Amino acid sequence: MIGSANGTRVGITGLGVCVPERVVTNDDLARHVDTSDEWIVERTGIHERRMIAEDQALTDIALPAAQAALQDARIGEGDVDLIICATVTPDMMFPTASALIADSLGARDAAAYDLLAGCTGFMYAVAQAYGMLAAGLSRRALVIGGDVLSSILDWTDRSTLVLFGDGAGAVVMEPVGHGGFLGFELGADGGGGVHLQLPGSGSRKFESPESMLRMNGREVYKFATRVMVSSAEAVLAECGRTIDEVDVYVPHQANKRIIDHAVGKLGVPPERTVVNVDRFGNTSSGSIPLALADARADGRLRDGALVLMTGMGAGLTWGSALLEWTDRRSA
């Protein structure tokens, strides 16, 4: 699915993030599996990641991120009428994380639902919020992307344990006078879903009663390196833009090797690419908003900057968005 924006301009007017306090280094993981800091860094570029405490769950990091986004947008909780939470690790299947967050915020009249699209969840959620706002079905949306993948990892599986971390980010989206989203490209390949799955997490029965993340790393790598490039190229073409015009490239932070491949194929200058996988690992739906926060902290998200975001993950799914950043504080 691909489309360019028309009519109402919709942009991001607030951004907030939250990561757990607990830092888990590669040396810490080496106490659980046969690995080393050198081995992990060489293959993934990851030095450390954040993980929640045993008594925490998704909403413990998603709620502070949402509150920070609302504060950044300078609006109150009651001003939001739509809340979408992209996650594969909610506190529970129901009530949804979005409903729990809405209640904690006091946004009791807001529509709230969770969205499940793996690591691409934030991109899907942003596209859905755009559609609701552009159609006039919502006035102001809060989109949250976050996961606590540490809760579904097999701590005896080196191939997955070293990749993932916990984190959450949120954005406020609303009509804007200038800038905003220019287009989206989304897709899915359920036939490849077997390569990245959580068996036993739904109604289908499996032999093992334990629900843990399973991944065929070789196949997921081939998928990721392909769609990170093709999805970005597709949304740029749809919007009539070129990669040379992109000021900030925000790829999903899955693996430094995947990011480097995409940067090389697309021809994005490294200085325009946001990379924080070294500090946070793969935080799934939290990945892109965390990277956006780093880009803003570095001063790269100036008013009018052309931002390209691309995600990919379980499903298998992928999605890209192109927008002109709206900084109303500098307008």
Q: Which residues are catalytic?
A: 119, 252, 282
How many helices and strands (H and E) does the chain possess? 10, 14
What residues are paired with 323 via a beta bridge?
181, 307
Nearest CA to 77 among 114, 102, 112? 102
In the Cβ-directed half-sphere of 197, how many Cα atoms lie within 13 Å?
A: 15
- For 111, the 3-state DSSP assignment is strand
Cα gap 276→281, rounded to integer Å? 8
- What is the DSSP annotation of 154-192? -TT-HHHHTTB-EEEEEEEEEE-SS-EEEEEEEEE-GGG
Q: What are phi and psi of 22, to 5 degrees?
A: -70, 120
In the Cβ-directed half-sphere of 267, how many Cα atoms lie within 13 Å?
A: 5
Amino acid at 116: L
